[in-house]
Amino acid sequence: MIQIDISNEDVEKVLGLCNSLQFATLGLSLDLYITHINPIAELLFLQPSHQLMHKSLHDICQKLGIESPIAVSTLPETLNNYSATTTHWLANQKIVTVHWSVSRCFNDKGYTGYILVGKTMLVCDEKKPLVNIETIMRALPCAIFSKDMNGYCLSANAYQADIAGLRHEKELIGKHAVDLPGFIPDPQVIHKADMLALTENTTIVVEEHATLKNGKKTSFLVTKSPFRDEHGKLLGVIGTAVNTSYQQPNFAPQSPHLPFPLNQKITQTYLSKKEIECIQWMIKGKSSAETATIMHISKRTVETHMNNIKRKLNCYKQFQIGYLIGKYGYLLL
């Protein structure tokens, strides 16, 4: 790729060479307005040259919703050593990456602009995700599952199958938690949590326990939500389970245990914006009266918000709430 200064006399020779090598080429003024664009570059920008000439490169990229070969934050004086990579969807649905480099143009009075040269590489023949969603689900280090209204498995990923003592996730379909060979849970706790998510029509987070086929007792932090079909009919529960019993590696400090059990009766993790704001001020050490002044509401309203928070998280002491949020802050999302 060309990364040298080019005299104005040689610019046309360079542009012709880039065309013959099938490089995308842009000519830019010192203020990054387009002064030249070749047919290959037109394909990347999905516009004919007459609609691109003498317009700001950044404005065009922003308007078209595509990556700019030169970042907006880039200073002109750094462009002599500049290189970048961008990804483009072409009109024929192909995906290409383009490796760009910049050369400065000059005459006897100084620098007059830039030539931006891009070498294209085909990534994918169709406009589709580069990584299949099923591949991601199989690779995730947590269980993903869905169950019907009666608790029978509709779908699951490989991690869920492994902790259940099965070789493939397809073996889980149609099975109940009590039917799994390598997984001995507390069926009452699981059923109660499922029903709570369904009847309350909300997302819940609970701690569930099970004994695996190797005899090890394991704890999972489980998130469950109701899910529906496209017509709004309730189909069952979808959820994730994170194993919280893993041994920390030796090079990482051991996480302290909760000074209180993560209560299985946590019934609601959704907090209103006001409730979240109250928690934020509580963590900063503000009293109810101080929080009321900051939020421009009454002290009684602050106390009502705090009571709702305690009820939803089933934590009735402020240090418990603070610890729970510090360790499991994502519960508030």
CATH number at residue 116: 3.30.450.20
| Residues 98, 197 within the same domain | no
Taking the C-alpha atoms of residue 93 and residue 126, their distance in angstroms, rounded to an integer, is 5
What pLDDT score does 332 carry?
A: 38
pLDDT in tens, the chain (333 residues): 344 555 656 666 666 666 666 788 888 888 889 888 888 888 888 788 888 888 988 888 888 777 788 876 666 666 666 677 777 777 666 777 888 888 777 777 777 888 888 877 765 555 455 455 666 666 677 888 889 988 888 888 888 888 887 888 888 888 887 777 666 667 777 888 888 888 888 888 888 888 777 777 888 888 888 988 877 888 899 888 888 765 444 434 443 433 334 343 344 445 677 877 887 788 777 888 888 888 888 888 888 888 888 877 777 776 667 666 655 543 433
Q: Which residues have CB under 8 Å from 122's CB, separation 6+? A: 94, 95, 96
CATH number at residue 298: 1.10.10.10
**Eight-class DSSP state of 297:** S
Residue 309, domain extent:
266-328
**Eight-class DSSP state of 247:** P
What pLDDT score does 309 carry?
A: 80
* Cβ atoms < 10 Å from Cβ of 104: 19
Domain finish residue from 243, 258, 281: 243
| Residues 120, 83 within the same domain | yes
| Residues 100, 209 within the same domain | no
What pLDDT score does 306 carry?
A: 86
1 domain-assigned:
no
| Residues 13, 63 within the same domain | yes
Asked whether the whole model's pTM tops 0.85, one would answer no
260 domain-assigned:
no
Strand partners, 107: 110
Both structure tokens of 52: 């691109």
CA 192 from centre of chain: 31
**Eight-class DSSP state of 55:** S
258 domain-assigned:
no
What pLDDT score does 263 carry?
A: 40
Both structure tokens of 6: 């080019």
| Residues 142, 88 within the same domain | no
| Residues 233, 277 within the same domain | no
| Residues 39, 120 within the same domain | yes
What pLDDT score does 20 carry?
A: 62
333 domain-assigned:
no
| Residues 99, 138 within the same domain | no
Closest CA to 25 of 122, 104, 118, 121: 118
Taking the C-alpha atoms of residue 118 and residue 82, their distance in angstroms, rounded to an integer, is 12
CA 318 from centre of chain: 31
Strand partners, 222: 206, 241
The pairing of strands 153-156 and 143-148 is: antiparallel
Domain finish residue from 125, 146, 164: 125
| Residues 121, 12 within the same domain | yes
Domain finish residue from 209, 243, 277: 243
| Residues 106, 138 within the same domain | no
DSSP of 139-186, one letter per residue? H-SSEEEEEETTS-EEEE-HHHHHHTT-SSGGGGTT--GGG-TTEEE-
Angstrom CA distances, 197 to 154, 206, 244, 268, 315, stand at 17, 11, 21, 9, 19
What pLDDT score does 237 carry?
A: 92
174 domain-assigned:
yes
| Residues 57, 140 within the same domain | no
Q: How many domains does the chain have?
A: 3
Closest CA to 269 of 215, 321, 217, 304: 321
Radius of gyration of the chain from Cα atoms? 29
Taking the C-alpha atoms of residue 313 and residue 264, their distance in angstroms, rounded to an integer, is 10
253 domain-assigned:
no
How many CA atoms, within 13 angstroms, populate the side-chain half-sphere of residue 91?
9
Q: Is 145 exposed, middle or buried (0-12, 13-18, 19+ CB in 10 A)?
A: buried
257 domain-assigned:
no
CA 11 from centre of chain: 44
Cβ atoms of 274 and 292 within 8 Å: the answer is no
Cβ atoms of 26 and 69 within 8 Å: the answer is yes
What pLDDT score does 298 carry?
A: 87
| Residues 183, 236 within the same domain | yes
